[in-house]
Chains A and B, each alone.
Chain A
Amino acid sequence: MSEKLYSISVEVNGVARSAHVPARLSLVDWLRDDLRLTGTHVGCEHGICGACSIMLDGEPVRSCLMYAVQADGHRVTTVEGLANPDGSMSVLQDSFCKCHAMQCGYCTPGMLIAAKGLLEANRHPSDTEIRAAIGGNLCRCTGYQQIVDAIHDAARRMASGAK
């Protein structure tokens, strides 16, 4: 008994991707294992840690809490899609490096997605707003301090027009 496959078309980081997937395949497993976009990470598979955060139609969501088949017809952005069109690091990515907002790097893609979602909605976030925005992303290395610093730094640079 082989599982029924469903055909899907998803725009991933600006590229149309088509596949036939079993219904139970999670979106994060499809991105990682089938598309080999391994930048998005799996931490808990039950919606708490935020390591698998991606943008779905421009909003951060947890990709372990969606089935790939549900993404059919939608637009997904992963960490691999955060760079500038010329391939250089975005301000946000650069600020994370500048402030050393990571250690092991495992939660980092999810943090970047959460931060991007915040900065797109709020150009001048306060400390509290930043902490709330990344409150659903667990990090075990940094104590969050340098992540908060990096998001402030990116907000400042973006406000002065940096890309």
Chain B
Amino acid sequence: MAEEKSPSGFRYIGTKRRTKEDPRFVTGRGHYAADIALPGMKHIALVASPHPSARIVSINTKPALAVPGVLYVLTGEEFQGGTDALYVGVDAPKVTRYALARGIVRYAGEWVAAVVADTRAIAEDAAELVEVEYESLPYVIDPEAALAPDAHLVHKAHGSNVLYHRKFVWGPVEEAFAKADHKLAFRATWGRSSTVPIETFGVAAQWDAGTGLLDIWASIQMPKFPDQAARALKLPGNAVRVHFDVDVGGSYGLKRGIKHTVLVGFLAKRLGVPVRLIEDRLENMRGGDMHGPDRFFDMQVAFDRDGTIRALKIRAVDDVGAYAGRSPLQLGKPVGAICGPYQIRAIEYEPTSVMTNKTPQEAVRGFGQAPTNFALERAMDRVARYLKMDRIELRRKNLIRKDQFPYLIPSGTSYDSGDYHAVLDKALAAIDYPALERERDEARKAGRLAGIGISTCLEPSGGNTSFEILFNPKNETTTWMDSCLVRVDLSGSITGLMNTSSSGQGHETLVSTVIGEVLERDPAAIRVIHADSLSALPSNSPVGSRMAIMLGGAAAGAARKIKDTLVAIAAHNFECSPQDLEYRDGNVNVKGVPSKVLTWDQLVEIAHRKYHQMPPGIEPGLQAKFVWEVPTGPTVPTPDGRVQMYPCYSFETHIVYVEIDPDTGKPSLKRYVCGHDCGVMINPDIVHGMTYGGIAHGIGASLYEKFAYTEDGQLASGTFMDYLIPSAMEVPDIHIVDHCTPSPLTTFGQKGSGEAGYLGAPAAIANAVNDALDPLGVSIDTLPMSHLALWERISSAAKKSA
């Protein structure tokens, strides 16, 4: 296949190139956690609480231990005695969390005991025989009820169900509300859904008593994972070796699995045999601690009759379930894009993180930004509707203009670059917007409910951790670096070493493309390997759409050092200045004298074997590492909570056409265009793929997916029969239109894109559905907009008119 020339003038970056990872996946040679088979390995099944809240009176493990093939039954009593509690992202030290409960269970599905047996089937047989006596306790399921003064306390020692609350005021909010021509208020609700990868969480561990080393293979995407595992296991960091060469079967932020890992690590060490836990789907959905944001927004907007948005008041309440982890911080990241792509000069933001007796929340694609974007975009459409103004005109009026970058928003973050109007215009052209409006109007005339939805949203990228210090001043993390090591061996082959695992983002392709670009060598011949945590350079893992920027930047930095070394070797041997040389395809020649050249092979040989030809002060061998900090760094917030959140801001605009069957409430997405600007794309196929996937995920969150709870605290959608992941039949053909506004902050002008699609799709779909419902005079601001919910809106309109 012919390779296309990069539009940005790069040799490899931005061209259509095959990925390095795909061949192993299509031949069945991926290497996932569940593929790990260690000699003598034992298997774990879990005993889970059937109660949303209860006291554990007693546990009798004897009948389970009597089952042939059962090695051990671990309870919370022993486990909590031997390990430390897991990390809490906010200042709530008494909200302690362990993999196995002791004394109290706080949600239905919480793990109470772990059975270790020869096979998973036997472990399940025995798990059924563990006798746990419970004494049921009061519980709270609804987040608003959990905020009530007399609410049942999920963690009594914490003294409140509130994990985090603060009211930020940035800019003259009250003044703007007083002076604005109009105000409106509404509530937008984001349902409890998650990324739900097709691979559940899996981890295997093996303890070597001879070396005192715990080896871990896990399906993870998590910053500081090895450190946290070691700490909870009360082991020094260098006694835990996490193997990052495990392929992760989907994550999208979610695969943290720290509690699983501590449990398995503890058992492997305690029992002296390799142990593996592969969650089954039922364990995963109920007790895997992988639910996403469950959030409502009380929105107030102050605006003028010409459509200028003057100020916002946003109260966000997020139900994180029964334990904390990093989930409260998902209210923190949106601070960095709290006004979206708009020029809104005054904002009040009041986030509240509240606990209930539900499965805990974990990081989900966008880390809280997608729900926030949904609320912002519903606000824009509501304002347009209020003013009877065209939604596109309203957006055009408020969008930050190209000439305003870098643009400082009221909450202290500077947006790097963008051309929002151009991307919006491209998307409108791609879908032929006037024709689309005619199509909608024809459908309406024919008696159908038809609507067009538009969203214009930001994807903050280059993830740092400014929200940690913002939400917890005791946590002074102000670096969120990533690294790469590049080696050229004696044969002249190049190897890049990355320091984290991948879950489909194509990092091997990324690193090889960037190294190839800098060194002018074919990326197809460059190998990229994943270090283990003891041989790794620092990394903060692929979160916050950061790897194109951070790993890409690190790989480029390391490759440039190699290039500089090669030029220095040549300069030494030609007895000239490096400025007199030119580097081409790995060879170095004297400028203007192509024949006076040292080839790649010759230079490599000098570096590896001919110390006498090496310039003084340069290490022999040919390798270089580069540790890169997030371009703007995480910064220390001001007292009023202004902070530079992520450095780079990608932009996406979605236009979707939906029809809803007025008789049944069934929606169908008929047309979908996404205009996307994430700066320079390293590999367009990868970027597009993640964007398509993000949109599909957004379709799920807006129309189908919900972890629903019954009033008695049971998860009602704990299987794939009732947690509804959209299939190819529900996801329409999607057309992506690219635009490129390079970031001034990054190596090649790239921005992040791992969360693309998901950040704007739910907003656009909600707007489309509301446009469809508009002629009926009803609206919906609660996700997911199920068939039932849509029918109820439609029939309430029919009743009103009757």
- Which residues of A does B touch, CB under 8 Å? 1-2, 22, 24-25, 32-33, 36-46, 48-49, 51, 78-80, 82-83, 89, 93, 96-100, 102-109, 112, 127, 130-132, 134-148
Contact = CB atoms under 8 A, between A and B. Distances in A.
B688 A51 contact: no
A135 B725 CA distance: 11
Nearest to B198: A43
Nearest to A105: B25
Nearest to A102: B25
Interface string B178-194: 00000000000000000
A144 B37 contact: no
Nearest to A38: B35
A70 to B, nearest CB: 17
A103 B365 CA distance: 15
30 contacts: A25-B121, A40-B28, A46-B720, A48-B720, A49-B198, A49-B720, A49-B725, A79-B28, A89-B23, A89-B26, A96-B26, A100-B18, A100-B689, A102-B26, A103-B504, A103-B689, A103-B693, A105-B24, A105-B30, A106-B199, A127-B733, A132-B729, A134-B728, A139-B693, A140-B195, A140-B250, A143-B693, A144-B728, A145-B688, A146-B689
A51 B198 contact: yes
B782 to A, nearest CB: 24
Contacts of B729: 131-132, 135
Given A46-B281, A79-B28, A106-B249, A1 B692 contact: no
A116 to B, nearest CB: 12
Contacts of B197: 104, 106, 140
B27 A93 contact: yes
B690 interface: yes
Contact of A43 (B199, B691, B692): B199
A51 B27 CA distance: 14
A142 B692 contact: yes
Nearest to B736: A145
Given A38-B35, A49-B720, A80-B27, 10 more contacts: A41-B198, A44-B720, A78-B28, A79-B28, A102-B25, A107-B198, A134-B727, A142-B692, A143-B693, A143-B731
A46 B504 CA distance: 24
Contacts of B691: 143
B506 interface: yes
A139 to B, nearest CB: 7
A49 B281 CA distance: 11
Contacts of B24: 105
B21 A105 contact: yes
B686 interface: yes
The SS class assigned to the A binding surface is: loop
Contacts of B21: 105
Given A2-B68, A142-B692, A143-B694, A106 B198 contact: yes
Contacts of A134: 727-728
Contacts of A131: 728-729
B27 A140 contact: no
Given A41-B32, A107-B198, A144-B731, A1 B68 contact: yes
B503 interface: yes
A3 to B, nearest CB: 9
Contact of B734 (A24, A108, A140, A145): A145
Contacts of A108: 25-26, 30
Contacts of A107: 198
Nearest to A24: B121
- Residue among A44, A141, A148 with most chain B CB within 10 A: A141
A22 B685 CA distance: 45
A49 B200 CA distance: 12
Interface residues of B, number: 61
B695 interface: yes
B108 interface: no
A45 B691 CA distance: 28
A97 B250 contact: no
Contacts of A142: 689, 692-693, 696
Contacts of A43: 198-200, 281, 720
Nearest to A140: B250
Contact of B34 (A25, A42, A48): A42
B29 interface: yes
Nearest to A97: B22
Given A41-B32, A41-B249, A127-B733, A141 B721 contact: no
Contacts of B688: 145-146
A6 to B, nearest CB: 15
B263 interface: no
A138 B249 CA distance: 13
B689 A96 contact: no
A100 B199 contact: no
Contacts of B251: 104
B18 A97 contact: yes
A42 B30 CA distance: 13
Interface in B10-49: 18-19, 21-30, 32, 34-35, 37
Given A42-B34, A102-B22, A143 B198 contact: no
A49 to B, nearest CB: 6
Given A97-B23, A104-B249, A39 B30 contact: yes
B728 A39 contact: no
B386 to A, nearest CB: 34
B37 A33 contact: yes
A93 B727 CA distance: 21
B593 interface: no
A140 B697 contact: yes
- Residue among A51, A99, A131, A137 with most chain B CB within 10 A: A131
Nearest to B502: A104
Nearest to B248: A104
A137 to B, nearest CB: 8
A80 B1 CA distance: 25
A38 B31 CA distance: 8
Nearest to A147: B728
- Residue among A24, A46, A104 with most chain B CB within 10 A: A104
A143 B506 contact: no
A129 to B, nearest CB: 11
B371 interface: no
Contacts of A24: 121
A17 to B, nearest CB: 16
B690 A139 contact: no
A93 B200 CA distance: 25
Contact of B685 (A89, A93, A100, A130): A100
A5 to B, nearest CB: 13
Contacts of A127: 733
Interface string B267-284: 000000000001011000
Contacts of B686: 100, 103
Contact of A143 (B18, B503, B695): B695
